Amino acid sequence: PPPPLQYSLLLQHLVGDKRQPRVWDPAALGGIPCPPKSEEQKMVERVMESCPFKAALACVGGFVLGGAFGIFTAGIDTNAGFDPKDPYRTPTAKEVLKDMGQRGISYAKNFAIVGAMFSCTECVVESYRGKSDWKNSVISGCITGGAIGFRAGLKAGVIGCGGFAAFSAAVDYYLR
């Protein structure tokens, strides 16, 4: 019978000098081998992972989402077209639609600015740290919230930092 395997011999094969490096081969695991990427595909990937593209995408997405949110909130607001001089007057459809458009544009601009600010700071933080993890969104959320809140004072800046960081952490936790 073969001699029993010694613990130190086993350790040498697992973590020591006799350890064989494992080659990562997806085909050996049953994966589908993918062909090498062309130069055009690599260029498109570099553009889509760049900070300016991410910021522009967040700006456009924030504009669309903010516009939809503004139109929705104006549509359900009972004070749309309200005249304090004549509280019993019913607003016309034209007044309500005008208010919906104004509020939609206002929300769209605000959401676009916040989206671009957050995306830019997250990209800069990720580039600086050299990692892509949940801490990037928390740090950039704090920077963005603090910058927005700081216009109203130091206390508002600190509260904005904490609130936006907590919201960013919750969203990042939910999405990852």
How many helices (H) and strands (E) the chain has is answered by 6, 0
| Better pLDDT: 121 or 76 | 121
pLDDT, one tens digit per residue, over 130-146 is 888 889 999 999 999 99
Residue 90 — pLDDT band, cuts 50, 70, 90?
confident
Q: What would the two tokens of residue 25 be?
A: 């081969």
Residue 4: Cβ-neighbour burial (10 angstroms; 0-12, 13-18, 19+):
exposed
CA 142 – CA 137 distance, rounded (Å): 8
Domain ranges of the chain: 51-77+90-131, 133-175
pLDDT at 144: 95
Smallest Cα–Cα separation from 161: which of 140, 149, 171, 146? 146
Most trustworthy range by pLDDT among 27-41, 85-99, 133-147: 133-147
pLDDT, one tens digit per residue, over 56-76 is 999 999 999 999 999 999 888
Mean pLDDT of 78-101: 78
| Better pLDDT: 104 or 96 | 104
